[in-house]
Structure 1
Amino acid sequence: MREGEVQKVARLKSFLIFFIPFIVFFFYFTSNNEHNPSSANHMQHEYVEIPEGYQVPSVNISVTEDKSGTWLLSVDTTHFNFAPQKVGNADPSFNEGHAHIYVNGKKINRLYGQFYNLDTLKKGENEIMVTLNSNNHGALAYRGKPISSSVVVENGK
């Protein structure tokens, strides 16, 4: 092998020694991030099935653009109370907890009340979804169907 070829091989080895661990760590950390929509944990906190005999909660949302150009999420619930002081309890709750907000499939935050400022949205269609969640973070469900509401808003700006 000529000296130039030896140098090229050495540079390739150096690059691969850096690049391969980088790719491994990148995929490990991005696949284990609970806020990553492609993560196995995304919206998979386990479902908390509402047992028969409990009032079944419901959620309805609306999203409106305000005069400043940001978007306001309004959340109305029935048979459900926000209980931020109890978030993280190990025991499931059926009629209290918090909500998770998703914009275009990506979880952006938890919600502990009726209103949330979504700030600006990307131009075009945006899907906003809210799920009701137990204090133990499990998504509430009734007869296997998650308790959620979603709307699509068009941002023309």
Structure 2
Amino acid sequence: MMKKLRSWISFIIIFLGFFYFYTSQNPHNQTGAAGHMAHGYVEIPKGNKIPAVNLSVSPDGPDTWLLKLNLFHFAFAPEKVGEKKPSYNEGHAHLYINGKKISRLYGEYYHLGNLEEGRNEVTITLNSNNHGALMADGKPVQATRVIEVNKQEKSGDHDLE
């Protein structure tokens, strides 16, 4: 009986060790700034056109929101995602809300759905096909908007910064 109990405890400890290692090392499970560091950064070399992104967020129904991206010197290339060679003017975007990675984006529109009441920070980063966050002159190629959501309002008026 005692031998079976020790075997079972050993199995659980080993299982938990592998589980912890996998979840802490898998870059796709990481969010926020740590997620960028997991994939690294791609500095755009001098002489290349510097991409840029602007974003707008507008009400899309009574309590939902629509994100629209305007891209400059950048094209979505979902068929090339995962290539090892960095790209500077094509790739995909990452969507973060309040510092948490929500999704990859491969197009200019995204339905955000409901946002939490209060201050919501929506950030878009442009990423190389190799998943690295694009950087120009040491700064991330990204855009951020703050949306203040007041669920008490009935008219659909919301403050966008």
Instruction: State the TM-score, normalized to the length of structure 2.
Output: 0.77
Matching of residue 96 in structure 1 with residue 90 in structure 2: yes
Matching of residue 151 in structure 1 with residue 145 in structure 2: yes
Q: Which runs of 4+ in 1 moved over 6 A?
A: 18-23
Instruction: State how far apart, in whole Å, the 2-side matches of 1:126 and 1:28 are.
Output: 32
Which of 48, 53, 57 is the aligned partner of 2:47? Answer: 53
Secondary structure class of the residue paired with 2:79 = helix
Structure 2 portions without partners, runs of 5+: 1-8, 152-161
Deviation of 1:124 after TM superposition, in Å, equals 0.9
* 2:79 aligned partner: 85
Instruction: State how far apart, in whole Å, the 1-side matches of 2:80 and 2:59 are.
Output: 32
Aligned residues with identical type, % of pairs: 54
Residues 56-90 of structure 1 show CA distances to partners (whole Å, capped at 9, x for unaligned) of: 00011111121242111111110001111111111
Letter in 2 for 1:58: A
Higher-Rg structure is: 1
Structure 1 residues 32 and 155, CA, compared in 2 at 3 Å: closer, same or farther? farther
Letter in 1 for 2:76: F
Letter in 1 for 2:53: V
| Count of residue pairs brought into register by the alignment | 144
Instruction: State the TM-score, normalized to the length of structure 1.
Output: 0.79
Structure 1 residues 134 and 85, CA, compared in 2 at 3 Å: closer, same or farther? same
